């Protein structure tokens, strides 16, 4: 495994998982990922910040063997893709102390059976001198677990942010090689992982504005030697208004719901609203999540199966509810034949949304002229709402 020397004191150990294609048995990784650890050599003490996923343990331990032993391991985040090989590191470095937040400590104990006495908790704002350089620990909960923190190396102005600002992108480049490519990967990462916690991230961005940051060094994807690139992107995703886009995720069995999806899209476009259609039976979850970051409205379509919503419609509703997009309007459309509870079932699954719920268009069988006209009226409501809110 290769390592990157970042400065005279700092090395990046990127365990690049080129061929990983799924995370959490859910999230597609079209570009692979990496688990970046960082080694810092102070004049008196040495530390490792985060580690790697156990899947890449062998290469990671080999790379570490080329560096001096560490006194501390800083665990910014307890999830196993960064902490999973901590038990191996405790064997390698007898007497090493793991530094983590008070909330992370029991997580590490429960997830990895790490002996409690090896973990030393650090408070928000606490510092650690390595001799000629100082680390500052900033608790930043809910990016994306409750125990998360970031670590700031004052003298080098490097922020080690773990998942925060990360991207699932396998690359041999230390720094962002292509901002267009990384923008999409980072937005996908934000949408899938961070968007449900936008309220917390807003506060963290405000706090970080008070720090002089030359480099953001996340634990997934390349580091940012132009931090404004990712900080500005996060400000837009978190703080910006949604855009004049209607997102239409749908699933169809015999074509009725698909016909409605296209009529709705055509009508929206005719009224000046951009439309994005996603077939829930064949889409990339990440692409749908990215679209949710900007969507001003979401209209979910599905037929009825066994009196309830088609299971892919349920999946779409659960995903939308979990990711908590900032869309201003939400509605449902679809088709049934002899009976349905699809609409109330879907409504019960999206209670996290703050969006205004618009009258659904749920019709019997193949849509008739009046059903399609009802979709036109739904499109008009959305167009008017977007105009009134000034969405662009």
Question: Under the criterion CB under 6 A, does residue 17 sit at the interface with ligand FEO?
Answer: no
Cβ proximity to ligand FEO: between 283 and 285 the closer is: 285
Cβ proximity to ligand FEO: between 75 and 257 the closer is: 75
Identify the bridge partners of residue 48 per DSSP, sorted by sequence position.
Answer: 39, 73
Other Cβ atoms closer than 10 A to 279: 15
The CB-of-186 to ligand FEO minimum distance in angstroms stands at 13
The CB-of-166 to ligand FEO minimum distance in angstroms stands at 7
- Measured from each CB, the residue nearest to ligand FEO is 79
The stretch near ligand FEO (CB under 6 A) out of 73-81, 102-110, 117-125, 234-242 is: 73-81
φ and ψ at residue 178, rounded to 5 degrees: -155, 110
Residues 127-156 that bind ligand FEO (CB under 6 A): 144
Residues 202-261 that bind ligand FEO (CB under 6 A): 220
Which of 81, 147, 192, 371 binds ligand FEO (CB under 6 A)? It is 81
Question: Under the criterion CB under 6 A, does residue 163 sit at the interface with ligand FEO?
Answer: yes
Q: Cα–Cα distance between 201 and 205 in angstroms, integer? A: 6
The stretch near ligand FEO (CB under 6 A) out of 39-47, 76-84, 111-119, 240-248 is: 76-84
Cβ proximity to ligand FEO: between 51 and 130 the closer is: 51
The CB-of-45 to ligand FEO minimum distance in angstroms stands at 26
| 19, 25, 28, 33 alpha-carbon torsion, rounded to 10° | -40
Q: Cα–Cα distance between 128 and 245 in angstroms, integer? A: 47
As a three-state string, the secondary structure of 51-120 is CCCHHHHHHHHHHHHCCCCCCEEECCCCCHHHHCCHHHHHHHCCCCEEEECCCHHHHHHHHHCCCHHHEE
Q: Cα–Cα distance between 41 and 175 in angstroms, integer? A: 20
Please, are residues 335 and 367 in contact by the beta-carbon 8 Å criterion? yes
Could you tell me how many residues of this chain bind ligand FEO (CB under 6 A)? 7
Identify the bridge partners of residue 249 per DSSP, sorted by sequence position.
Answer: 278
Residues contributing to the site for ligand FEO (CB under 6 A): 77, 79, 81-82, 144, 163, 220
């Amino acid at each position: 495994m290769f390592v990157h020397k970042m400065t005279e004191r700092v090395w990046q150990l990127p365990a690049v998982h080129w061929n990983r294609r799924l995370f959490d048995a859910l999230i597609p990784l079209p570009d692979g990922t990496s688990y970046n650890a960082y080694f810092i050599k102070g004049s008196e003490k040495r530390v490792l910040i985060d580690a790697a996923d156990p899947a890449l343990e062998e290469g990671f331990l080999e790379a570490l063997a080329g560096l001096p032993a560490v006194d501390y391991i800083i665990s910014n985040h307890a999830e196993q893709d960064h902490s999973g090989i901590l038990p191996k590191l405790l064997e390698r470095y007898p007497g090493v102390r793991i530094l983590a937040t008070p909330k992370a400590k029991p997580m590490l104990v429960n997830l990895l059976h790490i002996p409690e006495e090896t973990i030393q908790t650090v408070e928000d704002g606490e510092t650690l001198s390595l001799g000629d350089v100082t680390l500052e620990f900033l608790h930043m909960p809910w990016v994306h677990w409750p125990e998360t923190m970031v670590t700031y190396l004052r003298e080098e102005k490097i922020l080690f942010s773990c998942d925060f600002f990360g991207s699932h992108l396998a690359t041999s480049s230390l720094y962002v090689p292509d901002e267009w490519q990384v923008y999409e990967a980072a937005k996908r990462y934000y949408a899938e992982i961070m968007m449900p916690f936008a309220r917390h991230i807003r506060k963290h961005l405000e706090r970080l504005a008070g720090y002089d940051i030359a480099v953001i060094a996340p634990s997934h994807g390349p580091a940012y030697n132009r931090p404004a690139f990712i900080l500005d992107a996060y400000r837009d995703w978190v703080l910006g208004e949604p855009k004049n886009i209607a997102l239409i995720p749908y699933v169809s069995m015999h074509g009725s719901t698909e016909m409605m999806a296209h009529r709705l899209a055509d009508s929206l476009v005719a009224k000046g609203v951009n439309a994005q259609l996603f077939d829930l039976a064949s889409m990339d979850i990440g692409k749908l999540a990215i679209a949710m970051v900007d969507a001003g409205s979401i209209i979910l379509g599905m037929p009825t199966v066994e009196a309830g919503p088609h299971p892919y419609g349920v999946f779409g509703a659960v995903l939308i509810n979990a990711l908590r997009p900032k869309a201003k309007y939400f509605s449902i459309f679809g088709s049934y034949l002899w009976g349905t509870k699809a609409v109330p079932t879907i409504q019960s699954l999206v209670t996290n949304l703050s969006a205004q719920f618009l009258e659904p268009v749920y019709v019997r069988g193949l849509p008739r002229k009046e059903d399609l006209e009802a979709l036109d009226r739904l499109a008009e409501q959305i167009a008017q709402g977007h105009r009134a809110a000034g969405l662009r």
